[in-house]
Amino acid sequence: MRHREIVLFWLLAFASAAWAQAAKPQTPREALIEMIASPTPGTFDAHLLNETRAKLKQLKQSAQQQFALPLMMMNAQTQSNTNLKWNATGPVLVAFDTPKTGGRMEVRVDRDVIKGNHDEMELSFHAIKDGHEDSMAVTPHLQLQMKSEENVWKLSEVGFSLAVKLDGALIDGIQKQMETAATQMRTANATHGDATFSMSSSSSMSQSPAVFRAPSTSESKAMSAVKSIIAAENSFKSANPQVGYTCNMSDLGDAAPAQAQVTDTAFGGDVRGGYHYSLYGCRSNGFKVVAVPANVREHLRAFCSDESGMLRFAEDGHGSTCLSEHDLVK
């Protein structure tokens, strides 16, 4: 009997410990990571204050989409960057490689203080190269305030600031930029044979559209897939005029024509052919589709389109760049 009581005691103790661990409340930092990094639709809205969500519902759908566009771009870039490493504890919130510089970037938590149902968090950005911090003349800082509402930490305030080092490195950086600009102007003058080359012509050159090079096999398949999704969206809208376009990939399987079948297993959250496909901003008269490479190190381009059917691309492989710029596939 005594042995049975001891066994029962340890079973209860183990169950209690397991329950306590499962019921552990989410920290403000964990809530912030979930807001930014979660691929689940609606996660960001769940971490907005009730008052904010209620006001958003009163806006027209176009205004709601405009409010959500920065999030859409940020989330698309987050999902496309496979080397992001998020940390729920410790001094570094997130770190990721920067192939162009051969180093990495760290977002550090300088301050995280909970006061009752409020949390104050300060973040700073740091460049790391060869195991050492690469001094930056300008250091961005982000100030966040979270509020616990219905036992859920929600974003209540955002602030941004820049710290500028007024030292010799700043002067050296300005001088280098001036020398680079002067070299570019001299090169342009020599090319065009015009000694009166103006800043306005320089600006127009920098805004010229990117040249679309021949696509790789993976890129060709991604472009075809985006076109298939557009065709499926149009078919779905025709069949469901009261709904319009859909952001649910599984809705498009039956709506797509035979030559452009789109199924949830092929595109919805799964990665096929080295690309991840996402739908954003779906409403009665518009939508956005983005195809981003699953591995940015393969240097594949991102592709995107909307209800117009015009296919655009981004050389850096980021969906946010594709949505914000207008480089057309030709």
Identify which has the larger pLDDT, 30 or 202: 30
- pLDDT in the model for residue 54: 85
Give the DSSP H/E element, type plus range, for residue 180.
helix 168-192
For residue 7, is pLDDT > 60?
A: no
Which residue, 152, 169, 186, sits at the end of a domain? Answer: 169
122-156 pLDDT, tens digit per residue, is 998 888 887 777 776 677 888 999 999 988 999 98
In a domain, 19, yes or no: no
Range of the domain at 71: 27-169
221 in the same domain as 165: no
- pLDDT in the model for residue 265: 38
235 in the same domain as 158: no
Q: Which range in 33-37, 260-264, 267-271 is most confidently predicted, on average pLDDT?
A: 33-37
In a domain, 1, yes or no: no
Domains: count for the chain: 2
Is the distance from CB of 137 to CB of 170 less than 8 angstroms? yes
Q: What are phi and psi of 39, to 5 degrees?
A: -80, -5
Query: What is the domain-level CATH number for residue 46?
Result: 3.10.450.630
Q: What are phi and psi of 313, to 5 degrees?
A: -140, 160
Question: Structure pTM?
Answer: 0.47
User: What percent of the chain clears pLDDT 90, i.e. is strictly above it?
Assistant: 9
In a domain, 93, yes or no: yes
Identify which of 322, 282, 300 has the alpha carbon closest to the alpha carbon of residue 68: 282
Lowest-confidence range among 37-51, 86-100, 183-197? 183-197
192 CB burial (10 A radius; 0-12, 13-18, 19+): exposed
- Give the pLDDT band (50/70/90) at residue 120: very high
- 48 DSSP 8-state letter: B
280-294 pLDDT, tens digit per residue, is 888 888 898 988 888
- pLDDT in the model for residue 256: 46
In a domain, 87, yes or no: yes
Angstrom distance (rounded) from CA 307 to CA 24: 44
144 in the same domain as 40: yes
